Copies of this chain bind each other. A is one copy, B any other.
Amino acid sequence: MSDHRDYYRGRKILVTGGLGFIGSNLCRTLADLGAAVTAVDSLLPDYGGNLFNLDGYEQKVRINIADVRGHGMEYLVRGHEVLFNLAGQVSHIDSMTDPVTDLEINCTSQLRLLEAVRRGNPELRVVYAGTRQVYGRPLYLPVDEKHLLQPVDVNGINKISGEFYHLVYHQVYGIRASSLRLTNTYGPRQLIRHNRQGFIGWFVRQAALGEEIQIFGDGSQKRDFNHVDDVTDAFLRAGAGDAALGQVLNLGDTRPVSLLELVKLLLDVAGGGSFKVVPFPPERKRIDIGDFYADITRVRETLGWAPRIALRDGLAETVAFYRRHKEHYL
């Protein structure tokens, strides 16, 4: 069996959210593999899109600035073989202060995009970026794909819809869609300008810049973390064949660490720094999910995927990246 990476040589690939954190890492890898990549991104302020994320790849990746809420996707989906569908509003906090915008981006746009695929390119393989947030507070650990969906915020609800649209368009119209439910992803090219897109990027920023890290609660919450290169590899595997069609697959790591352990590791690789444990702000406590780590049996069996990058190594590389390029991320 040839490597799933070989599949992409010469293929036409579309990536929504292609200037964002995971999207840009994916575009870079795809270009390295010889794919003809188009990155679609709205560059909405505060969302994570950043032209510097494709620094050095301006000639290898076609950059198309567009908002998935508007028209244009009808045209863009045509002629491509795989769509990595990563455009989204990802801030849980923002989804509560501006729920209708979250809905427009995470639901309405997804539905319009799938309609465009159905009408304009029904053979397209589509891999959707789902999220572990759909499970809400775990009833048991590790969380497998049969766990009840009980989202704790509007973003979690809308991400369920976005994912279900893909599954229903697969069942009803045969659209070749699948969804990866991502856990906490870290690595180069993440938004670290504000702290409304989750704690991991914020902790990395504080460690890299020598700012004091604040841990909400008591630091005992356990979570699993994936390096963006591992996540990229999962997308490549899902997009290279039909094994995942119609399925949802958890990403994650079976070796969870507490936030306190994470922070100590970060300070260690950063060569110093400090942290403080502080009470949860109420607007965050209400939507916090406690311990979470995923059961990744299904993705291992379906795509042969498991995370490879050790947390310490990944964090060290990540801290070094932001120190080197901080003017582009602050």
Contact = CB atoms under 8 A, between A and B. Distances in A.
Contacts of A149: 148-149
Interface in A145-165: 146, 148-154, 156-158, 160-161, 164-165
Interface stretch (A37-45, A95-103, A186-194, A217-225): A95-103
Interface in A88-119: 96, 99-100, 103, 107-108, 111-112, 115
A157 B163 CA distance: 10
Contacts of A96: 172
Nearest to A99: B111
Instruction: Give the interface centre of A108, A161, A286 by most chain B CB atoms within 10 Å.
Output: A161
Q: Could you say how many copies of this chain the assembly holds?
A: 2
A277 interface: no
Given A160-B160, A286-B171, A108 B100 contact: yes
Contacts of A243: none
A41 B107 CA distance: 25
B146 A168 contact: no
A287 interface: yes
A168 B153 contact: yes
B168 A164 contact: no
A18 B165 CA distance: 29
Nearest to A145: B148
Contact of A165 (B112, B157, B171): B157
B151 A148 contact: no
Given A157-B168, A160-B164, A168-B157, A111 B115 contact: no
A108 B105 CA distance: 12
A148 to B, nearest CB: 7
Contact of A151 (B99, B146, B156, B164): B164
Contacts of A286: 171-172
A103 B107 contact: yes
Contact of A161 (B112, B115, B158): B158
A161 B157 contact: yes
19 contacts: A99-B115, A100-B108, A100-B111, A100-B112, A100-B115, A107-B107, A148-B148, A151-B168, A152-B168, A153-B172, A154-B168, A156-B164, A156-B168, A157-B164, A157-B165, A157-B168, A158-B161, A160-B160, A160-B161
A165 B171 CA distance: 26
A65 B107 CA distance: 28
Contacts of A151: 164, 168
A149 B157 CA distance: 13
Interface in A45-86: none
Contacts of A103: 107-108, 111
Contacts of A161: 107, 157-158, 160-161
Contacts of A165: 99, 154, 157
